[in-house]
Structure 1
C-alpha cells in the first residue's frame, strides 16, 4: 500500500498515538477473564478452520502465542497434524542496545517438546534456525497484533519485527491477523513502513481487507 511521506513531527505524533493505543489494548486484554479468553480462542479457531478448509498449504508461518494474546497453540498442532510445515519465529538478540528487537529468523515446529522460553519471555522453537528467507516458502502467514481495521492496517507490538520479516515473504502469501472482536477499530495510526494484512479473523467473523 502506498503511503505519502511523513514529516518528523508526523512520525513522532504517530509513534505517540501507537503507544497510547497499545497501552489501552494491552490493559483490556490483561483484565479479560480467563474463561472469556478460552471461549474466544475456541471460537476463533473454528473460524480459522473454516477459512482454511479448502486451502492447499505446504508451509504456514505462525506466531507462538503467550496469554493474553489470541491463542495459536491449538492451530499450530492442528496444522502439523494435517502434514503442514509450520514455521515459528526465532527471536535473536538486538545488535545494539538501541534496537528493540533482533533480526527476523524462523525454525520449523517439531512438537511441544521442542519449544523453549526465549528472549522477552516469548516461546520459540529449539529446532535449527533457517534464516529470514525461510519465510518466502510460506503460503500463509499468521501475525500477532493488538488492533486492526477493515483496510488491513495493523497495530503491532512495537519494534517492527514483523514489518522487517515480511520483506522476505512471497508476494502471493496471504497474511492473517488474529484479534478479539473489540480490537477491530475504525482507524489505526500508521507509519509509512507499516505493512497491511489481507485478512483479520476474530471469534465471530472473517474480514477480507482487500
Structure 2
C-alpha cells in the first residue's frame, strides 16, 4: 500500500508513540530470542510453504527481499527458490551510517548471486558482495518482502527502528506488492505509528496469508 494519510501529531504524541514502539519491540524481540530452535525451524518451513502457494501463479521478474538473521523469520530458502525459478532477487546493502546513532546508512541494493557471494556487513547484518545498484534499483521490483517485528490486519508494520525500509520504499514502484513476514503471535490488534510509517499489502505467517488491503 505504501504512504497513508495520518493526522498531524504533536511533539508529545510523537514521543509517546516512540516510547510505545520501543516497548513493543522489546517484547517481540524477547519472545523471538527464547523461541526454541526447533519451533523456529518448523515455523520457517511452514511460512515458506505459505509463500510458495501465494506466489504460485505470480509472474515475477524482480523481487526485493531482506536477508534474514536468526531469530528473524527466515528468507534464505525463499531467496534460493526464487533464484532457481529465474527471478532476479535484490538484497539490501547496508552502508555505514553517517552517525553512530543511525542503525544503517542510506538504502542500496545488489543482486543475489548465490550463498558464496554473501558477507557480514555493518552491525552483523548479512549483505551481498555483488556490485551495488543504488536506491532506485528497488523501482524494478514487482514484489518487496520486508522484515518487521509486528503488524496488524490494516497493514501497519513495526520495523526495527532505523527507518531504513521506510526510506527505501520511497524508491519503489507504486504497483509493487509489499509483504511482511511474521510469526503468528506477532500479528496484533494495534501498532503505534508515526506519520511517516508505511503500510504493507500482505502479511504472511506460518499459518495464514493476510490481505491488508
- TM-score tier, shorter chain, comes to over 0.9
Tell me, yes or no, if the aligned pair for 2:104 and 2:122 is still in contact at 8 Å. Answer: no
Tell me, yes or no, if the aligned pair for 2:113 and 2:130 is still in contact at 8 Å. Answer: yes
2:192 matches 1:189? yes
1:40, distance to aligned residue in structure 2 (A): 0.2
1:50, distance to aligned residue in structure 2 (A): 0.2
CA offsets 1:11-45 (integer angstroms, 9 cap, x no match)? 00000000000000000000000000000000000
1:178, distance to aligned residue in structure 2 (A): 0.1
- 1:9-48 pair list within 5 angstroms: 9-48=12-51
Unaligned runs of 5+ in 1: none
Matches of 2:44 and 2:99, distance apart in 1:
36
CA offsets 1:130-165 (integer angstroms, 9 cap, x no match)? 000000000000000000000000000111000000
Tell me, yes or no, if the aligned pair for 2:117 and 2:128 is still in contact at 8 Å. Answer: yes
Matches of 2:50 and 2:104, distance apart in 1:
31
Matches of 2:101 and 2:46, distance apart in 1:
39
1:101, distance to aligned residue in structure 2 (A): 2.0
1:184, distance to aligned residue in structure 2 (A): 0.1
Matches of 1:40 and 1:97, distance apart in 2:
34
* TM-score normalised according to structure 1 size: 0.99
Matches of 2:100 and 2:41, distance apart in 1:
37
Q: Which runs of 4+ in 1 moved over 6 A?
A: none
1:98, distance to aligned residue in structure 2 (A): 3.6
1:97, distance to aligned residue in structure 2 (A): 2.9
Matches of 2:104 and 2:40, distance apart in 1:
27
Question: Secondary structure at the residue paired with 2:63?
Answer: strand
Question: Secondary structure at the residue paired with 1:127?
Answer: coil
1:94, distance to aligned residue in structure 2 (A): 1.2
Q: State the number of aligned residues.
A: 210
